[in-house]
Structure formats: structure tokens, C-alpha cells
Amino acid sequence: MQPISVEKDGGDSGEAIAHRGAWYTHLYVQVLVAILAGVAVGVFAPATGEALKPLGDAFIKLVKMIIAPVIFLTVVTGIGGMRDLSGVGRVAGKAFFYFLAVSTLALAVGLLVANLVRPGEGMNIDPASLDAARIADYAEQAHHTSLVSFLIDIIPATLVAAVADGHILQVLFVAILFGISMTMIGDKAQPLMALFDSASHAVFRLVSILMKVAPVGAFGAMAFTIGKYGLGALAHLVGLVATFYLTSLLFVLVVLGLIARMAGFSILRLIAYLRSELLLVLGTSSSEAALPSLIEKMERAGCEKSVVGLVVPTGYSFNLDGTNIYMTLAALFIAQATNVPLSLGEQVALLLVAMISSKGAAGVTGAGFITLAATLAIVPSVPVAGMALILGVDRFMSECRSLTNFVGNAVATVVVAAWEGKLDRGRLDAAMRGRPLPPTSDVEVIIED
């Protein structure tokens, strides 16, 4: 990763000067090579691959370490710089409208594909023969995860506990309140705003430092996944995995692509712009690993900081397109595999329950699988024990869930910014085409892929 310095020098044109290194210095190339190397180690030396798990875990911890201050500083400086508090509520309202509409559409797409393809048909599994103990831990977590407890948990024990514990929605909650209070006191908040603004520059510089070890984390995580589960794990349920990947791909290219076109940008260019982050998500199977970089890149692409600060963190809990596709597709797969017929009414009920439970399990490690357990526990027609059928390949599907969720949140950010009239289309077009960016400040330090 090479820093790019964007300067305005008096009457200079203000064009960005990009100091680009050789091809192998680009982050996305390094991460791609690391992923391929991890797959090779996992295939030819599975024991070694399993032993490399700490590399991936350590990198995820490094990123999680920085997520809370990134969100706090981004939201506080974004809202604190707004003169009209009604703008905060307007952005939040539009974001949640978008989340509800697109998430529901994702659930419906999963339901439709499951009925058309029927990947579980013909397996003829007796539910009584399934080992329910294998999914007991997930079912227990789902039992303690409800919408009410989720909403209550948004409120932290203390003002600083949110940042200290790294709970994304707690940090967002505190940051929004703090930003609103700074806006209300006006000029008296300016010294604090200047401090937070300087701190945000330092924090994003730290992000760029941490991203230098991203290839190491991706290598360890991929080596562990292949070493532990093996490529052969896909063979037994290849139909489900292939259906899920294809459905998610079509959702991104067709549904999100249409939304992007209506908002005036190309989904393919957005994917290319975020290639480094997407490879990082693929390698670590965690969209959180790329959250700080997503915030930085959305701002660089012309989305106003106040919009980015609200949409990206909330989207990570409420805009889970990949998880929603997975939930309805997996639920119907289990029903088909165990020969449990579901009427149209029961499938609609399943979709409505999934809409609620997907919010209740947001932010939980292994959220997709836990959310599925919570949904099936409420819909008794489908045996929860049937989750044992997909446990072996869930790790492979989690990567696709994370990738789809990540792209969905990037699209949501640009769309909401466009709705608000807070999108610099010149910067957006330049960023996505890899051209020099028009200047927005005297000196801006950004991160090259």
C-alpha cells in the first residue's frame, strides 16, 4: 500500500498525484497471492494449515481493535460538522428504509431460488437420524438472542464502555448522541472538533499500517479453512453451495446492479474499486476485517462523512443481504432434505420471522448460522436438527455471505449519499475509474490499494 498525497498548492489545478509502485506492491495482488498460498498449504499440508489459524485470528483482532475508534471519530466529526440536526434523522430514516427494502428483497430471492432449484430434494434424510448435539451450541446462542435483548444491548453500561468493548452498535449509539450534543453547543465544540479531526487522521494512518499485514492474515485464515475442512467437504453438499454462490452473485450483479444504475454508478466499477477489501473479506471470511477501509474508501469516493458514518456501521447490523439469502435458502434446503412440505403461507411466515431474527442476531460471531437456528426455533415445521446437514459447509458459505454483505453496504452508502445530495459524483467517477481525484481540502492523505 502506497500513500497518495493530494495537495492544493496556491493556483495549482489540485489534481491528485499518485505515486504508484510495481504491480506486486498493490494490496489486492498481495492478498490474492496469500489466498492461493493458503489454499495450497491447506490442501498439501492440512495439519500445517490448521496450525496457521492464529495468523488469521491475530489479524482479525488487530482490525477489531481499531474499528471502535474509527466509527466513533467518523460519526462524531460527521454529525458534529452538520449545522442542521434534522439532517441526521433524515439520513438515518432513508438508510433504514433502504435496509428494510433490500434485506426483504434478499430474503424473497433466497425463497424463490430454493423453490425453483430445490437443492435438498431427493436426499430423504430422517430427522431422527441427525446428530442434534452438533448444533447445540448454536441453538443455545440463538435461544439467548432476541430482538428485545438486542435493542437493550445497544445501550452500553457506561459512556466509555462502548468503545472499550468494541460493540459496533453501542459505539454508534454513543457517537450519534455525542455528535448531536456537539452540534447543539455550536462554536463551543470547535476545539473538540479540531481534536477529533486530528485524531481521525492519525487513526486512519494506523489503519493503513495495519493493512500491510493483511496478506499474512488472509494466508493464515485460508490455510486453516482448507486444512481443517478440506476441499472434499464441498462435494457432499456441492448443490447447495453452488446454488448459494450463484444466487448471491446474481443478486449482486442484477439486483444491486440495477439499484446502482438507478443511482448513477456501475456495480462492476464499484467492485473493482473495492477489490482489495473484497479479497481481504474472502481470505478472512469476515466483512469486519475491511470495515475501516470501507469507511475510508467511501469518503474518498465522494460520499460525505456524515452519511458514511451513519450508513456503514448500521448497515453491518441491519443490511445483511448475503445472510438473508442464506437464511431462506438454507431453511428450505433443510425442509426439502428432510421431506418436510411447507405451504406458501408457512414460507411467508418463515420469511417474516427471518426479517426479525436477522436483526436480533446481528453482530454475533457466526451470525448467519446462529440466525438460522433462531429462525428455525420459531418455525417448528422445519427441524432445527437439520442444521447438522449444512454445518460442515457453513464455513465455505460464510465467505460468500460476508462478500455479499460487504458489497451491499457499499452500494447502500453511495445510494443514501445520492438521495441526500451529499455525493460528489466527480470524485465518485474518478475513484472508480482509477483517475486522479479532485481535491476537497488543503492536504488529504488517502490509501492506495
In whole angstroms, give the CA distance from residue 107 to residue 95: 18
Q: Is the pLDDT of residue 415 over 90?
A: yes
In whole angstroms, give the CA distance from residue 74 to residue 81: 11
More confident residue, 100 or 437: 100
- Confidence (pLDDT) at 16: 36
Range among 98-102, 155-159, 306-310 rated most confident: 98-102
- Confidence (pLDDT) at 210: 81
292-324 burial: b if 16+ Cβ within 10 Å, else e: bbbbbbbbbbbbbbbbbbbbbbbbbbbbbbbbb
- Confidence (pLDDT) at 392: 58
Span 267-273, mean pLDDT? 94
Span 271-289, mean pLDDT? 84
Nearest alpha carbon to residue 406 among 248, 190, 216, 211: 248
What's the pLDDT band for 337 if we cut at 50, 70, 90? confident
Nearest alpha carbon to residue 372 among 124, 154, 128, 107: 107
Q: Is the pLDDT of residue 186 over 80?
A: no
Span 235-262, mean pLDDT? 88
Helices (H) and strands (E) in the chain, counts: 22, 2
Q: Which three cell numbers stand for residue 321?
A: 443481504
Span 309-329, mean pLDDT? 85
In whole angstroms, give the CA distance from residue 91 to residue 343: 39
Alpha helices per DSSP H over 212-366 = 214-229, 233-236, 238-250, 257-263, 267-273, 275-284, 291-300, 305-318, 321-337, 344-360
- Confidence (pLDDT) at 21: 60
Domains and their CATH numbers in the chain: 3-447 (1.10.3860.10)
Q: Is the pLDDT of residue 414 over 60?
A: yes
Mean pLDDT computed over every residue of the chain: 77
Span 315-319, mean pLDDT? 81
Span 288-303, mean pLDDT? 87
Express as a percent the part of the chain with pLDDT over 90.
Answer: 16
For 50-108, the pLDDT digits (tens) are: 898 888 888 877 877 887 887 788 778 777 766 666 777 788 889 889 998 998 899 89
Q: Which three cell numbers stand for residue 408?
A: 451491499
Express as a percent the part of the chain with pLDDT over 70.
Answer: 75
Span 320-335, mean pLDDT? 87
What's the pLDDT band for 1 if we cut at 50, 70, 90? very low
Q: What are the φ and ψ backbone dihedral angles of 303, each rounded to 5 degrees?
A: -85, 130
